[in-house]
Amino acid sequence: MFDIANLGRLLVFLGLGLAAVGALLWGLSRTSLPIGQLPGDYRFEFSNVSCFVPMATMLVVSLLLTLVLNVIIRFLNK
């Protein structure tokens, strides 16, 4: 069964993970990396509507996360 202690532990770890992601994004925003300004990031602006589609940034982040997670999984399986 799923008791209240496990729920509390899950919420703590989710909160720590969210804080770590926030700290990472905050740290990346202070660097000069062109996140969101790559040549494949599209910005559409009309009279009162704007839309931003970060295609190149999504691809770069996806590749980096795939590499990092594969390395972590390989270390955990050994």
Q: What residues does each domain of the chain span?
A: 1-33, 34-78
Mean pLDDT across 35-49:
88
28 pLDDT tier (thresholds 50, 70, 90) = confident
DSSP bridge pairs for 53? 42
Integer angstrom CA distances of residue 55 from 2, 16, 43, 52: 40, 28, 10, 9
Q: Which amino acid is at 32?
A: S
Mean of per-residue pLDDT scores for the chain: 88
pLDDT tens-digit readout, 46-75: 999 999 999 998 998 899 999 999 998 998
DSSP assignment string, 50-77 = EEEEEHHHHHHHHHHHHHHHHHHHHHHH
